[in-house]
A = this chain, B = another copy of it.
Amino acid sequence: MESIIFTTDAGMVLAELLDGTQHEDIFIVADKHTVLFCDRLFEKVDWLPSHVTVLDCGEENKSVESVSRIWMMLSKQGARRSSILVCVGGGVVTDLGGFAASTFKRGMRCINVPTTLLAQVDASLGGKTGFNFNGLKNEIGTFSIPEKVIIDTRFLNHLPVRERMSGFAEMIKHGLLSNREYLIRLLNLEHQETTQEYMLELIRRSVTIKNEIVTRDPREQGLRKVLNFGHTIGHAIESLSIMQGSPLLHGEAVALGLVAELYLSVKEKGFPEEIYREVRNFVKQHYPPYPLMNHVDTLYELMLHDKKNERWGVNFTLLSGIGEFSLDNYCSKDLVVEALSQV
């Protein structure tokens, strides 16, 4: 299990972690937004600005070219295996930085400082790194657990509502995978009134749920596939939205994917219909709609590339109830199309 630190002062935690490390051994990757946090974050570390790669924002830049820019900084500035790459940003930054670190000189040290809710409850944890290739999400990557993940809820104060809701979709998934009480709390949350402390409590809970699963199956041989609930269809929707030039945020696509895969769960595994409807209403209310029905063939084609698949079809994790999952289900294309029509 990776070491996760919850704090309201990431700068202080970072200064302690990096104490004794020579400044020329500290490297930073951030994006154009999160680099603005770095001055303050590295205040106590006496940060060397020459050791920073600033990536362009957005899923469309999650590419081998971006990884090469990080590799080039590390190589040109003489990074060692014992040097540390600090990734400051959302999932795109931690996925790209994590991949670069895990492959530079066959593996250097890596610390994640996730700055979005999505990255704090999901992307920066568990060691999945990677980038998009051939139009497919995370087609290339490694399993490589970061040395530390520093979760500071103060970053969330800067977060646009859309970004916050994107992360919230993964938390709803955690609720579906664990217990009813947590799910209901999430679905009834008044986002405007949430205090930082209460949010921190929810994040801790999501992190714990994810971590228990990842610790038991770090390389996704079996159990870890449950974390892909909502993602087989969600990833296809996300890829479609990028292809169409109107990209959804990852969690927004996952929210739609959760509805579709809950529908499959109702039909195939007897998942309780009232909970399905409650989640569907929540998603309809809080997430942007996306027209899917003109693109069912493209979506199905995209699903066929999912990493969990075997040769014979699209592999789904389905639920028979909250916290009760069934791995490796293959649904007919007709049923998948029916599920898409419910979103």
Interface residues of A (CB under 8 A from B): 22, 24-25, 64, 68, 71-72, 75-76, 78, 80-82, 102-107, 128, 130, 133-134, 136, 138-143, 219-220, 304-305, 307, 309-311
Contacts and interface: CB of A to CB of B under 8 A. Distances in A.
18 contacts: A64-B68, A71-B139, A72-B133, A75-B133, A75-B136, A75-B139, A75-B305, A80-B310, A102-B142, A103-B103, A103-B140, A103-B141, A103-B142, A104-B139, A106-B138, A106-B141, A106-B219, A106-B307
Contacts of A141: 103, 105-106
Contacts of A76: 134
A71 B103 contact: no
Contacts of A80: 307, 309-311
Given A104-B140, A106-B128, A75 B134 contact: yes
Contact of A311 (B22, B105, B304): B22
A106 B103 CA distance: 12
Nearest to A128: B106
A22 B139 CA distance: 22
A243 B76 CA distance: 17
Given A72-B133, A103-B130, A106-B307, 11 more contacts: A22-B311, A75-B134, A75-B136, A75-B305, A80-B307, A82-B310, A103-B141, A103-B142, A106-B219, A107-B142, A107-B143
Contact of A307 (B81, B304, B307, B311): B81
Given A133-B75, A140-B71, A24 B106 contact: no
